[in-house]
Amino acid sequence: MAAPAEVTIKDLSGKWVMDKNISTPADPVLSTQGVNWGLRKTIGMITLTLDVKQTVEADGVTFIKIDQIGTGGFKGTTEERRLDCKLKEHVDSVFGTVNGCTRWINLDQINDPFPIEYQNTPEDIKFLTEDWIEDDCEKGGPNGEKHIDSFVRNEKRAWTARQIWGFSMIENERHYVRRVVVKTLNGKTVHHVKLVYNWKP
């Protein structure tokens, strides 16, 4: 189901179901991220729902908690993101130990540095910034930002992932989308991933 017009990046609270038919296949990406074969196959067979709770904390910083729930009772990862662009360590059962940060962003800020080493290529930038809805009605951040930008680095498994969140028109419907660049630290393997979600009322 298309996202309602009133649901924007300002508050993603609700349930979002991944549309596997129009999203990038996960298995090659998960393999690069060091996820074991059995878990990859399980993830490939289920449908993931994101249960999102987005709030603004007392200090004015946006906080997002996302529980991933799979069909058949599969328990995925829990994402906790504080949009202050401060480095934080996170450990989960799928992706291991990562260090990362999350921030509000407009696309003209895509090259602003993170507090952790990361290299963009022109191909990465093109992929991360294309095909978004950029109308004023999509503004949601404290300074009118239309996107969320998140980056993580896994030293042990030797990969990074950067993702931009926002809304896109796909098959004439408005959807919540994540565009993700996953790459090995040596840069030899790069995945450009599009994850598309349907609104679940």
Mean pLDDT by 10-residue block, N- to C-terminus, for the chain (201 residues)?
A: 97 98 97 95 93 98 96 85 96 91 97 86 97 98 98 96 98 98 96 98 92
CA distances from 81 to 9, 147, 151, 159, 163 (A): 14, 14, 11, 19, 13
Tokens at residue 85, please? 């662009």
How far is 113 from 118, CA to CA, in rounded Å? Answer: 8
pLDDT at position 193, please? 98
pLDDT at position 111, please? 94
pLDDT at position 118, please? 82
Cβ-contact 132, 174 below 8 angstroms: no
Residue range 14-200 in CATH 2.40.128.20 = yes
pLDDT at position 46, please? 93
Q: Is the pTM here over 0.85, yes or no?
A: yes
Tokens at residue 45, please? 């067979």
Sequence-ordered alpha helix ranges (H) in 5-92: 27-32, 37-45
Ramachandran class of 127: left when φ > 0, alpha when ψ lies in -120 to 50, beta otherwise: alpha
Q: Which residues of 92-108 are buried (b: 16+ CB within 10 A; e: fewer)?
A: eeebbebebbbbbbbbe
User: Which residue is associated with the tokens 């202050």?
Assistant: 84
* Percent helix / strand / coil, the chain, rounded to 5: 15, 45, 40
